[in-house]
Amino acid sequence: MERVIVVGGGLAGVRSVESLRAKGFEGSITLVGAEEHRPYDRPPLSKQVLTGESEDTTVDAAWDSLDVTLALGVTATGLRVADRVLETTAGELPYDGMVIATGAEPIRLPGPGRQHVMRTVDDARALKAGLVPGRRIVVVGAGWIGAEVATSAAKLGCRVTVLEAADAPLAAAIGTEIGALTVPWYAEAGVELRCGVKVASIEDGGVALVGGEWIEADEVVVGIGVRPSLGWVSGLEVSNGIEVDASLRTSRPEIVAVGDCAAWWSNRYGRRLRVEHWDVALNAPEVAVATLLGEEAVYDDAPYFWSEQFGRMVQYAGHHPAADRMIFRGSPGDPKWAVCWLTGDRLAAVLTVSSPRDLVQARRLIAAGTAVDAERLADPAVAIRNAVL
């Protein structure tokens, strides 16, 4: 293998380049990125970048020693797997091996009005210009991104309304019962939250709801999810992302996929997962590259992510949909609390609020598959690491 193309200029892309060199690959590497910016971290965009606390989130990489050709501002337009050719806006690029890390793109709502999304640094900068004290900001979607944008906008003195189609914030991510526990946070921050409402369209000057109601807005932010950015891909198995095995290998052995665009088989959970979070983009590329170079490697980390909203650090680890039961650790009215999901006597997932120690200890137990005592686990006076059987 002499030529490797990494398609995608985000964190997963640069981590793939770093892993190739770290594993001794001496051939040519080309990083193809649709944005003109060098790879940067996305989590700060809806937080520090919006509030002006940070201007630059560029990933600190040793570009000179990596000896990589940066094809920035270049978009992948097609893939001919039989010929091993990537088609791009800058021409055709032949390859021997490929890492696909093109991420995902935001879902937008119908209507002619301007709607901000929160995916790129340019998106964040465009919205930041409109977050002026007293302006009316409508955020559509009370998921992780919506809550973070609402937090930042309220901090800057904007009048914020959040619209959510589900019955509670974060319902899709952590369920209606737990999501409902975050409702008071919005009122505390002076943010109006309306659940169970559906948007018909984004218009000039505001938002039209299903049923005819009109909500005026100076800026509208849409945070209702993303789709894998794979319109250019052909010749591979694609459903909800590029289907890859536990080693992140596609149906073509010379192509691996990683990050938001990859739906990988988890031996841990016995199902295919597609996880749109920073932790996967950071850690999975090492496995993908090892596979590409012919090594035996498996990616099976328990998913992990975090969110900063309304003065709280919310962290989640594991995968809870198939869990048998749920127990609280402390009270949701306390400054710090957690929810644990159990499958039998094993900890399947944990959500912590302003309790990083609990998260760290629970994450270790989830990774190890250690049996736990539910009664001790529910007692916040007992360290999670001491709740094992």
Pairing relationship of beta strands 206-209 and 214-216 according to DSSP bridges? antiparallel
Instruction: Tell me: do 177 and 206 sit in the same domain.
Output: yes
* Cα distance between residue 172 and residue 167, in whole Å: 10
Residues 268 and 178 in one domain: no
170 in the same domain as 39: no
User: Do 57 and 150 belong to one domain?
Assistant: no
* Strands of the sheet with 199-203, listed across from one edge: 199-203, 206-209, 214-216
Report DSSP letters for 350-369, one per residue: EEEES-HHHHHHHHHHHHHT
Quick one: 60 and 158 in the same domain? no
Query: Domain range holding 353?
Result: 311-386
Beta bridge partners of 271: 266
User: CA-CA distances (angstroms) from residue 385 to 2, 210, 365?
Assistant: 47, 49, 8
Q: What pLDDT sits at residue 102?
A: 97
Could you tell me the pTM of the whole model? Answer: 0.94
Instruction: Establish if 259 belongs to a structural domain.
Output: yes
The closest of 185, 174, 205, 177 to 319, measured between CA atoms, is 174
**Domain assignment present for 297:** no
Task: Look up residue 30 and give its DSSP letter.
Answer: E
Residue 90 lies in a domain: yes
Exposure string for 3-29, b = 16+ CB within 10 A, e = fewer: ebbbbbbbbbbbbbbbbbbeeebeeeb
- Of 167, 194, 222, which residue is a domain's last? 222
Same domain, 319 and 335: yes
My answer on whether 11 and 61 are in the same domain is yes
**Any domain includes 381:** yes
d(CA 224, CA 108): 8
* Complete DSSP assignment for 58-103: B----HHHHT-EEEET--EEEEETTTTEEEETTEEEE-SEEEE---
Q: Are residues 77 and 183 in the same domain?
A: no
CATH number at residue 379: 3.30.390.30
Question: What are the beta bridge partners of residue 347?
Answer: 342
- β-pairing, 136-140 vs 219-222, is parallel
Q: Report the side by side order of strands in the sheet with 85-88.
A: 76-80, 85-88, 91-94
What is the structure's pLDDT at 357? Answer: 96
Look at the chain and report how many structural domains it folds into. Answer: 3
The tens-digit pLDDT sequence of the chain (389 residues) is: 999 999 999 999 999 999 999 999 999 999 999 999 999 999 999 999 999 998 889 998 999 899 999 999 999 999 999 999 999 999 999 999 999 999 999 999 999 999 999 999 999 999 999 999 999 999 999 999 999 999 999 999 999 999 999 999 999 999 999 999 999 999 999 999 999 999 999 999 999 999 999 999 999 999 999 999 999 999 999 999 999 999 999 999 999 999 999 999 999 989 999 999 999 999 999 999 999 999 999 999 999 999 999 999 999 999 998 899 999 999 998 999 999 999 999 999 999 999 999 999 999 999 999 999 999 999 999 999 999 98
Domain of 161, CATH number, reads: 3.50.50.60
58 located within any domain: yes
Choose the final residue of a domain: 175, 204, 222: 222
Give the per-residue pLDDT at 55. 84
Whether residue 194 sits in one domain with residue 126: yes
Q: Which amino acid, one-letter code, is at 177?
A: E
Q: What are phi and psi of 363, to 5 degrees?
A: -60, -40
Residue 115, phi then psi, degrees to nearest 5: -130, 125
d(CA 116, CA 126): 8
**What is the three-class DSSP state of 192?**
strand
